[in-house]
Each structure stands twice: as C-alpha cells, then as structure tokens.
Amino acid sequence: MKHITCIEDLRQLHKRRVPKAFFDYADRGSYSEDTLRANCDDLAQIKFRQRILVDVSKRDLATTILGEPASMPLVLAPVGLLGMQHGDGEILACRAAQAAGVPFTLSTMSICSIEDVAASVDKPFWFQLYVMKDRGFIKALIERAIAAKCSALVLTVDLQVLGQRHQDIKNGMTVPPEWTLSKIVDFASKPAWVAGVLRGKRRTFGNIVGHIKGTDDITELSQWTASQFDTTLTWKDVEWIRSIWPGKLVLKGILDVEDAEQAAKTGAHALVVSNHGGRQLDGAPSSIEALPEIVDAVGAQMEIMFDGGIRSGQDVMRALALGAKSCMIGRAYVYGLGAGGEAGVAKTFDIIRNELLITMGLCGVNTIAEIDDHVLAV
Ligand SMILES: Cc1cc2nc3c(=O)[nH]c(=O)nc-3n(C[C@H](O)[C@H](O)[C@H](O)COP(=O)(O)O)c2cc1C
C-alpha cells in the first residue's frame, strides 16, 4: 500500500475490489445527495491559521473518549454490512481499531454478530442499537451487548423512517436482493472479494438471524428487518433503554439544538452531531454547520462527538476546532476495509493520524486539548 497516500486512493481501490452494489451502498447517499456533498464541501471551506516558529516537537494525539484513554480523537462509526465489504469485515475493522487504540462500534445491522466479534478480539467494543418494533428482541439484544461486555451503547435516533438511496434501488440492493446478469458478471470479476466473503463466518445479518422466529431464511429476514423500523419511537423509549442498559450511552444522529437540549436531559453521556452521513434527510444542513450551535447549547453538559464528511486529518482538526471532542469516521474506514481488509483499515488510521499531526504542527499546536477556534482563519 506504498502508493496509497490519501483516503481517496483507498476509495478508488475499494471501487475496483468490491462489487458495484456494495461499493455504491457505502459511497452514495439519499435522494439528490445534497447533504452528502455538503458534509464534505462545508468542511473544506474551513480555513486554518498558519503559524510559524512555534516549538511543535512534542505533538501528541492522545485524548480520552467517554472517559477512556484513546490514542487519537477517532471512533469507527457503526456501519451496516461490513462483512459484505470484506469477509469478516466487522472483526477485521474492530481488530484494526483496537490495534490503533481507538473504539470500534458494531452496528445492529452487522454481518458478524456481537458474539462473533467478542470472541475474536481482546478488548471491549461499542454496540450501536436501532430500536425496532419488536421490543422483546431489542431487550434481548441489549442483554447480549451487556453479556459481551460492550463498553458503550450508541443509540441511533435518526432512522425512524428510511431515506431512499436511489442507487441501491438501481443496483438491486433491494429487499429481497435481486440477481441480474450484470451483477453476476460483476461478482465474477472480483474473485478475491468472493473468496473472502465465502471464507467469512456469515453472509447475513448476524445479530438477527436465528433470534427471531422464521428469519433463518435470508429473504424473510430482510423483509422482517425492513418492516421493523419503528415510527412510534420517542424520548420515552430512551428512558426505557436507560433502564436496561447500565453503561455509557451515546445518542447518535442529532442535528438540532432543541433535540440536543432534550438529549442532555436524558442523562446520556455523549451525543453525536450527525446526519447519518447524508443517507437520511437530504436537504438537512451539513453536520459541521450544525456543530457549533450544539456545542454552545449542551457542550458543558455532555461530550460532543461529530461525524459526517471526515476524509482527512485536516477534517478532524476542523471539527475539533469547532468544539467536537472526537470524531466518528464512516466511509473513510469502509474504503480502507474494501481496499485491503484489516491492513486497509490500519492504513486509514495511518493516513488520518499523519495528516492530523502535520496539520497540528503547521498550526502551532502540540496537544488535542489545545485545539479550539484559535487554529482557524477568520
Ligand atoms: C454504508 C454505511 C452504512 C451505515 N450503517 C449505519 C448503521 O448501521 N448504524 C448507524 O447508526 N449508522 C450507520 N451509518 C452512518 C455512520 O455511522 C456515520 O454516521 C456516517 O457514515 C458518517 O459519515 P461519513 O461516512 O461521511 O464519515 C452508515 C454509514 C454508511 C456509509
């Protein structure tokens, strides 16, 4: 991976190595993709203040996330179907995160189950929860996360209804999956990916299969899942989850100050300013546009995390400068995973770590705690 110098290089390699339907599933967004684009574009608009002749010989990315030490202010965001980007993708991404010294978040919609990942890694990981209509199943899922010693629960609150992603429909990433000749040809041209997925532990939703009656069949399972997103979800359900989950709770998917104020009242430890990577409400502001107001409103009461559009260490620095304590990355590591499995995710960390270190040096700061809006040009 010597010639891979940036996340875009990993993206190009991912595109070559993984079938189009799965690459597009990761890469694209909802409707016109305005919010997806704005996430990256608005970050790129933020300019740094170049400083000179400051001793920057002691730069250090170490920080804490939810009170635990982390080697840098990054978390791997929950991403569904990682095991379809690379066989055993969830396990490989979690191993890379733990080797890099940062948290990994396992999605409810993962291919490897909570237990598969727990049995394959040394340290605790975070678990992300989608609350479904079947509350018995959700309670059991939380109990499985407790049994697996997950160290935080990330409750995703921005997916009561599903934003349409045109490209998934065009590619036949529908429920149930649609097999076309072009898809078969595409898969056949990616033998390394096919071999990896066939070697992997599973090829379906690992957390759900077998736990719900009648969902051993992939088609029924997909239909059950699609019908389970709960439009009746309210703040009361957050209380219910708090009564079952004894550990640290993170609310993910907040973009509005009033919602952030409500979130602070729930006793959750952190919130993630996020628009689901431009995959839900198209036309919503970019995450970085929403961040400063939310930090002002509730930053003193809870830890503020950020995601949406991070493709470089410079982007991490921008979000920290506007008040985020740490950043989740989604696509940036999915590209690494598709490009090269565990080594590819490790490469994502190397790229972002080095970019952040250099950016800090050129802005004249040595520690993460020093980063605030004084590093930005006005
Ligand atoms: C392919 C894909 C699948 C995702 N699946 C989930 C999921 O299962 N649960 C969740 O809370 N967020 C999910 N997200 C959203 C991410 O957690 C995160 O908010 C988003 O990717 C951040 O934007 P970025 O990709 O620009 O970094 C997904 C994102 C992508 C790209």
Given this model, what pLDDT does residue 219 score? 66
- At 27 the three-state DSSP class reads helix
What is the 53 CA–ligand 1 centroid distance (Å)?
Answer: 40
Q: CA 94, CA 122: separation in Å to the nearest integer?
A: 10
Given this model, what pLDDT does residue 217 score? 63
Residue with token string 């830890």: 303
Given this model, what pLDDT does residue 218 score? 63
Residue with token string 């189009």: 20
Q: Is 80 in the pocket of ligand 1 (CB under 6 A)?
A: yes
Minimum-distance ligand 1 atom for the alpha carbon of 310: 27
What is the 27 CA–ligand 1 centroid distance (Å)?
Answer: 10
| Tally of CB atoms within 10 A around 265 | 11
Q: Are 269 and 303 in contact (CB under 8 A)?
A: yes
Residues near 36 by Cβ (< 8 Å), separated by ≥ 6?
28, 29, 30, 277, 278, 279, 282
Given this model, what pLDDT does residue 177 score? 59
Note the maximum CA span of the chain: 67
Which residue's alpha carbon is at the smallest distance from atom 27 of ligand 1? 330
- At 97 the three-state DSSP class reads helix
Which residue's alpha carbon is at the smallest distance from atom 19 of ligand 1? 276
Minimum-distance ligand 1 atom for the alpha carbon of 158: 11
Give per-10-residue mean pLDDT for the chain (378 aa).
93 97 96 98 98 98 98 98 96 98 97 97 97 94 98 96 91 69 89 92 88 67 79 96 97 98 98 98 98 98 98 98 98 98 98 98 98 96
- Asked if 211 is an active-site residue, the reply is no
Q: Is 336 in the pocket of ligand 1 (CB under 6 A)?
A: no
